[in-house]
Each structure stands twice: as structure tokens, then as C-alpha cells.
Amino acid sequence: MRLVLVGPPGAGKGTQAAMLAARFGIAHVSTGVMLRQAVQERTPLGQQARRYMDRGELVPDQVMVGIVGERIEAADAETGFVLDGFPRTIPQAEGLAAILARDGRPLDAVVNLVVPDEVVVRRLAGRRVCSGCGANYHVAYDRPRVAGRCDRCGGQLVQREDDREETVRRRLEVHNRQTEPLVSYYREQGLLREVPGTGSPEAVQAAIVEALGQATGPRATGRGDRP
């Protein structure tokens, strides 16, 4: 299965993509995670990307298409993938389409998570991420078992640089201007599934699975399956 998740910052793309990857046994490809790792490791890509990310702006399309094109050729993406945070512009979507057409691996669906701006701001202000493995938590909605520590790897939970309120507002503006046009682009191709991103992570996951017409797929095994 080959999926794309779109939606504003904080819509729950990362949370839902991790659950879908576990449910369907496919690769979770998050461009945000890949870029943050490059920043942390101070690679040339990371140094270039940081300038854009800290301002809440997008890294250039050509760079992103190159990174993702390489990533989806990896062995763990042979059974499929869920793209989280990519594509984010029409040129990125066209770049992806060209790669997938060349490989004869078309997309199965694009899920648009619909979440109002005020919910986005609340979620991102309370988000904490593991400095070790990148897992997401929330101070109110998704607390770790031990305060400040990751359930998976014991790493320290920190606030993302770009989750400060003024950067979140900038990211929302960038989303509305550059990413929102993807909704019409994929709707015209008959690939779009619109799903409300409010409700618990488990309820959103069930709505996505229903929208994909895969309600009888294998049992999920991710964190999001906790009661």
C-alpha cells in the first residue's frame, strides 16, 4: 500500500502515519524526521535545511524530491509506504508522480486530515518529542508513563524549536498558501480521502482505515493501539 498523509502542522500526520505503518507493515517516511536528523548530525543537508525550518518555511522542492525519491527505493519500502509531510507543494507532488510512474508503483490514496487552526496551535504548544527516537507525546493528550521520558527508548522529551507560537503561525500560513492546493490536485485525480483529524488518535485511525476501505486489515501493533 502506498499512501500520502496531508494536513496542516499538528494535524496528527506523524501520529497517524506511525499507526498506519504498524498496521499495514509498510515504511513510515517522515520528511520532518529525516530533516531534523540531518540538522542534529550537522550534515550539509541539515545545515541547508535548518535555515528554512527555524523560520517555519519550506526546504526547496528539488532537495526534497531527491531525498524522498531515494528513501522510497529502500528495501523496507518495497511492501509500501506512508509519506508524512511530503509532498507539500505541487512541484513536489509532480516530482513524486514522475518517480512512481517510472517505477510502476502508483499511489493508492491521499488522506487529508482536517483540523481547525485553534486545535493545531493547542496541540503544537503541548507537543513533546523524544530527543532519542523522535516519538511524539503531548502534555495533556498523550503523556509518557514516566514524566519527561520516552516510553520506547527512555530518551529525554523536549519541545521542538519550531513549536514556538510565532513559528507555528508562520507554518500555518505557509501550509495554507503552498500545501493546501494539493487537496484539489489530488481530488481531481480521484485519490483524496478527507478525514476529520479531531477526536482521539484511535478514533482518527479508525476513520482513516474506514476511508481506505481496509477495515478488515491486519491488527495494528503501534503505540496508538493502547486503550
Residue 39's identity, in one-letter code, is V
All three cell numbers of 204: 482518527
Q: Which of 2, 6, 14, 95 binds ligand AP5 (CB under 6 A)?
A: 14
Q: Which residue is nearest to ligand AP5 (CB)?
A: 32
Q: Is 91 in the site for ligand AP5 (CB under 6 A)?
A: no
CB 49 within 8 A of CB 43: no
By CB under 6 A, residue 224 contacts ligand AP5: no
CB 113 within 8 A of CB 5: yes
Count of residues of this chain found to bind ligand AP5 when the rule CB under 6 A is applied: 36
Distance CA 153, CA 177 (A): 37
Residue 13 or 71: the one with the smaller Cβ distance to ligand AP5 is: 13
- Is residue 2 part of the annotated active site? The answer reads no
**Is residue 3 within 8 Å of 110, Cβ to Cβ?**
yes
Question: Is residue 150 close enough to count as binding ligand AP5 by CB under 6 A?
Answer: no
Residues ≥6 apart with Cβ < 8 Å to 177? none
Under rule CB under 6 A, residue 35 binds ligand AP5 = yes
From 2, 128, 171, 193, active-site residue: 171
β-pair partners for 35:
none
List residues near ligand AP5 by CB under 6 A. 7, 9-15, 31-32, 35, 52-53, 56-59, 64, 85-86, 88, 92, 123-124, 127, 136-138, 141-142, 162, 171, 199-201, 204
